[in-house]
Amino acid sequence: MTDTTDVDVSRIAPRDKAEILAQALPYIRKFHGKTLVIKYGGNAMTDPALQADFAEDVVLLKLVGMNPVVVHGGGPQIEAALGRLGKKGEFIQGMRVTDAETMEVVEWVLAGEVQQDIVGLINQAGGKAVGLTGRDGGLIRARKLKMVDHKDPSKEYDVGQVGEIEAIDPGVVKALQDDAFIPVVSPIGFGTDNESYNINADVVASKLAMVLKAEKLVMLTNIPGVLDKQGQLITELTARQIDELIEDGTISGGMLPKLAGAIDAAKSGVNAVHIVDGRVPHSMLLEILTDQAYGTMIRSH
């Protein structure tokens, strides 16, 4: 690693190294054979050093007996590709308007460029990754998202080929997991007439975690986690406490859609949802395998 902020492992005393490894052991034992769904986005996805860290973490989790499934976003990459075509992204209530031409770009960027980069990085780190979209094995069946105006429920917007999930068939993911592969899923669904839909990656990760009965859903973001009114990190929350924080305005804006999926997953049987700062090297590994909190954990009860 070239990043100077990383700890020089050679300078850690052997006793401290042993302590770190011993601390990981109960977690490795506890989560052995369990499924972890990881939403990969933010800086962790665009910074080359953090990309390599992420790939190593995913491979390590697989090697110690867990079953990671990666769901990725790609907003900045889509924006850059549209820019190269001279096309300006249009948003309504935070949702990208996706006409037929934009959908082609979305598919090409997500299922082509971004997905293949992630697959390549994981394979380079010693894993066996396989890229999937919602079409593969009928994984994500979707329908057109009906977007209602926040202020006037009688008003609807047409945001094009943006979808909501109708059903998830996890058969292909399970088959790959059982065969030592690491599935990497692009958030593209298909409709009854074989049309493609662009789906929010947080939503896909949350729903997939529910359907797979995952032990954990880990969401890598560009923030430290959920912060209180003083800007301090809240390391642990229940779904009920989140409802209270939304009501009193502590949680608002871009955090709301992230947490909506997290709360749904927690209420639907995913034991823990972690919102983790993807800007910290190896934060995902540290959050899962140590006592130290590197984000916010939302418990199901």
Helix 255-267 × helix 201-211 angle, to 10°:
10
96 annotated among ligand-binding-site residues = yes
**How far is C-alpha 169 from the geometric centre of its chain's CA atoms?**
18
Distance separating the N- and C-terminal Cα atoms of the chain: 39
29 annotated among ligand-binding-site residues = no
Nearest Cα residue to 272 out of 257, 287, 254, 253: 287
Neighbouring-strand partners of residue 187: none
| Residue 66: count of CB within 10 angstroms of its CB | 22
Nearest Cα residue to 232 out of 245, 216, 247, 219: 245
198 annotated among ligand-binding-site residues = yes
Coil, strand or helix at 110 = helix
Which residue ranges make up the annotated binding site? 74-75, 96, 198
Which residue ranges make up the annotated binding site for substrate? 74-75, 96, 198
